[in-house]
Amino acid sequence: MNLFLLGENIFLPQIPGKFSPQKRLYMQTGDCPLSANGGVPASRHARMRAKGNMARKTTKKVVKATVKAKTTRRKHDPFFRYIYSIPENTSALLRLAQRRTPALRRMLSNVDMESLEPIPGRFSSVGEQGEADLAFKAKSLTGGPDAFVGILLEHKSVRKDDVLAQIYRYVFEVMVNKSRSDFMWLPTKAIIIYNGKTDWDPVADFRKNRFAEFNGGDLPFECVMVNLSDIRDTDCNDADNAVAAIGTLVMKHAYDPDGLRGAGTILNSLLDKLDNDTRATVVKKIELYLESYVDQDLVKEMTMAFKSIGQRMGFVSIADAKRMAKAAGRREGRKIGREEGREEGILQEQANSEKKMKLFVKRIAKKMNITEAELLALKP
């Protein structure tokens, strides 16, 4: 083995081949060579680079997860908001839920649910921040004519461990009465509306946690969990508010194709109670909502089942006539457009031909040293 002198009385084996000085030194000594920038070991640089790469990958994963979560939220929220942003529909939903949720009955026993109305901006910044799903205020049955409470609906379709912390922030930071300077908070009753695939009750989970002992087993705010799977289909069939019942059924069975098929008869019965325009809008909303959760064939099957009353009874309703006229108008417009486009193309082609002919005549006349008129006057 060839050796070369590294320093006084220090000999290292000479390794043949093309290697960088740092790598050669590492192969010769087994020690981590020093880099040129400040004597930092190269292995540490490698670790720092790896850590940076890992941080970037983690950031990308977090961003993707956030985008996915927001996308999932958007898929559910438009339908939920469309149905239950109307106070009458929210009242009907909570009446349905109270049948199977005793805790909700107790919490709302002192609230006049007929007085439910959306909270204006001066009472809440929910609308500004876009955080909580729906917020209302209602009169208290026990606190006098000027006493109001807040009703906060937080919709969840998946388990979220931080949901109670989220609601805590809403209750004490968002649900505020800006028109008062003494008691600025609006006493709020929070209701979690859940339609996920698995059983989940964050309120019960909290009470099982040892941390709950410091609060006497209770949350620092009123909160009840409503699982839509607890509401029976037959309860929806008997509901006095068809739109609210339809929303409940569709969201309840969003992940259950067989359950959705089984509820088809009830859904059709509820749709029959709506006027034609409302029915057409609700059916379209259902179609857009379900296409993200169930098989497309089932969406088509359910959509076909949601025919209008006019179609079922064999006559054409005003709404049906409007839709057919609109569709016919689009077809006629496309036909006219194609014909006009064809005519325009022919005219353009003719114009191009005439232009080319004029240029041809001009070039020939120039070569023959005569005018264009004289050239055209020539006879073959």
What pLDDT is stored for residue 329 in this prediction?
A: 67
d(CA 123, CA 208): 34
The answer to whether residues 262 and 250 touch, using CB atoms and an 8 Å cutoff, is no
114 three-state secondary structure: strand
The answer to whether residues 306 and 284 touch, using CB atoms and an 8 Å cutoff, is no
Q: How far apart are the first and last CA of the chain?
A: 102
What pLDDT is stored for residue 83 in this prediction?
A: 93
The answer to whether residues 140 and 148 touch, using CB atoms and an 8 Å cutoff, is yes
Phi, psi of 316 (to 5 degrees): -100, 115
Above pLDDT 90, what percent of the chain? 25
The answer to whether residues 90 and 152 touch, using CB atoms and an 8 Å cutoff, is no
pLDDT in tens, 317-334: 455 555 566 666 666 666
146 three-state secondary structure: coil
The answer to whether residues 294 and 260 touch, using CB atoms and an 8 Å cutoff, is yes
State how beta strands 10-13 and 111-118 pair. unpaired
Q: Where are the domains of the chain?
A: 1-33, 75-313, 347-380
What pLDDT is stored for residue 310 in this prediction?
A: 44
d(CA 111, CA 143): 10
Phi, psi of 143 (to 5 degrees): -100, 10
Q: Kindly report the number of other CB atoms within 10 A of residue 165's CB atom.
A: 9
Task: Give the pair of three-digit tokens for residue 300.
Answer: 């088509």
3-state helix, strand, coil in the chain (%, to 5): 60, 15, 30
Residue with tokens 């259950």: 256
d(CA 32, CA 336): 79
Please name the amino acid found at residue 285: K
The one-digit pLDDT tens for each residue of the chain (380 residues) are 444 444 444 445 555 565 566 555 555 555 554 444 444 454 555 556 665 666 665 555 555 555 444 444 445 578 899 999 999 999 999 999 999 999 999 999 999 999 999 886 545 544 434 445 788 989 999 877 778 889 999 999 889 989 999 898 888 777 776 666 777 778 899 999 999 988 999 988 888 877 767 666 678 889 999 999 999 999 999 999 999 999 999 999 988 888 988 998 999 899 989 988 888 889 888 888 887 776 667 666 666 666 544 454 444 445 555 556 666 666 666 667 667 667 777 777 777 777 777 787 788 778 778 887 776 776 55
